[in-house]
Chains A and B, each alone.
Chain A
């Protein structure tokens, strides 16, 4: 293949790096960074879906303070973090310890435990709506053992608890895999030394395993707390679009979706709620990372 000097030089022109990166930069800029900036700007306007907004200063945020629904949303999203995160930090670790040893059939169990991660949240939500139904499997079992039927999906607090359970159930396998990778790096000599010193399984777990996977626990804590605070689908599917009895189960992201979409959507106000979501998300991350550093010192 004969190549002229001109074409050889042209092929080395510095445009091509940008050509490589252009599609990615374009999409990221147009659909992530621009909407991010525009959310920050819109939060200070009274923009609606069909009406361009005017600058209204802090009016949206002042309205938030007096909006009962906002406080309900903030409460529920916060409760969600408090309820879900400890479970998602501890349970997958125990599960990882259970599937760590290479006993016969263990790969089957590992894969089976991961199945809920693969399924769509809509599928998972609807499966649990049917399981926890007034006449569903869980209530049938409860009745069979004599406990009686429980209104998992009709009581405001039980609904929230049920939705938390679903998020934990769906997340177990994912974090289990993360922990498995971390456990593989725990030197086995540490366990042996502890065993020789007469430490039982529980003691070895607390004195060897936990310290060794501590940084992974912090990672899981950070990831799951951000995911929990942004909860939408679980509650939307189980409590319905209006968020359960009198909207008492509404979460912040549900409120964003409800306020900001549709032809009459209040884009400005929904953006103000989004800004709160950003701020709390970042704060949660910093909190978890700081707690981590304090533990270390």
Chain B
């Protein structure tokens, strides 16, 4: 490679560009101006495509009852922004109750997933006992089962337990996901074993080793598990749709679907509802981005 390194400067840049603003890539080399302009143009185009629809929804939700939302050419900004539609959503469906239900479900999902998968992951990674391989295999198999294929059986199981149409029933099937258990197992496996061995020699028992030594070292993975558990529960649609039938117990996503189904013609109302549902997650994402990105890398097997 050293030969190539020497060849590279031969492809000298035109000296005129030396005066251009100094923008370099990750290897410290200057990027040509026209390429930079092209890149930013493309980035802005994709930005319009990915974020634009959210902004259009926000704009629609802020347009008053007298403002034309169907105009052609379209009007991107509300002429006289109002929160009127948000009040109307609350009058039409108990949207704050639904938000509270979603929050309860999501919080419970975070707690059970963090605690349950940390415990099980530690058992799979660190503890020696007969049947450990079988236990690991159980979680691997469970991870491969496509959830959409077993929802009917999950529903009948919930009925047998008398938990259909309850928030507990919404939480239970995913409350300790196999994927999270395996993520935690890998996190524990990556810790150096010597420290725990030393603690063992010093007489620390399993719980002490788990709580004081292993757990604090895998905080990052626990954060990833927590965030994806929250997002998964807050965004879930198919399972709550099947298990909840009583409108007073709806979560936000099911409530939105209900709102859309009943008041489909009222675009301002539906727009306000969707903004209420998506705003908390966008805020969470804005604050904790790096964990969201880390989760994609670690959980790429999730699909």
Q: A residues within 8 Å of B by Cβ?
A: 3, 8, 11-12, 14, 16-18, 20-21, 23-25, 27-36, 38-39, 42, 49, 95, 98-99, 101-104, 106, 109, 111-116, 118-123, 126-131, 133, 135-137, 139-141, 143-144, 169, 172-174, 177-178, 181, 188-189, 192-193, 195-196, 219, 222-224, 226-227, 230, 232-233, 237, 240-241, 253, 256-257, 260-261, 265, 267, 270-271, 274-275, 277-278, 281
Contacts and interface: CB of A to CB of B under 8 A. Distances in A.
Interface string B10-22: 0100000000000
B156 interface: yes
B154 interface: yes
B120 A112 contact: no
Contacts of B116: 23-24, 27
Of residues A35, A223, A227, which shows the largest number of chain B Cβ atoms within 10 Å of its Cβ?
Answer: A35
Contacts of B8: 192, 196
Given A119-B282, A120-B237, A122-B277, A39 B124 contact: no
Interface string B236-272: 1110011000000000110011001100000100110
Contacts of B205: 8, 11-12
A233 B238 contact: yes
A118 B73 contact: no
Contacts of A140: 70-74
B49 to A, nearest CB: 8
Interface string B184-209: 00000000000000000001011100
Given A113-B47, A135-B70, A257-B151, A103 B25 contact: yes
Contact of B153 (A42, A113, A139, A169): A42
Contacts of A188: 27
Chain A residues touching B, majority SS: helix
Contact of A253 (B42, B148, B203, B297): B148
A49 to B, nearest CB: 7
B39 A122 contact: no
Nearest to B40: A103
B275 to A, nearest CB: 8
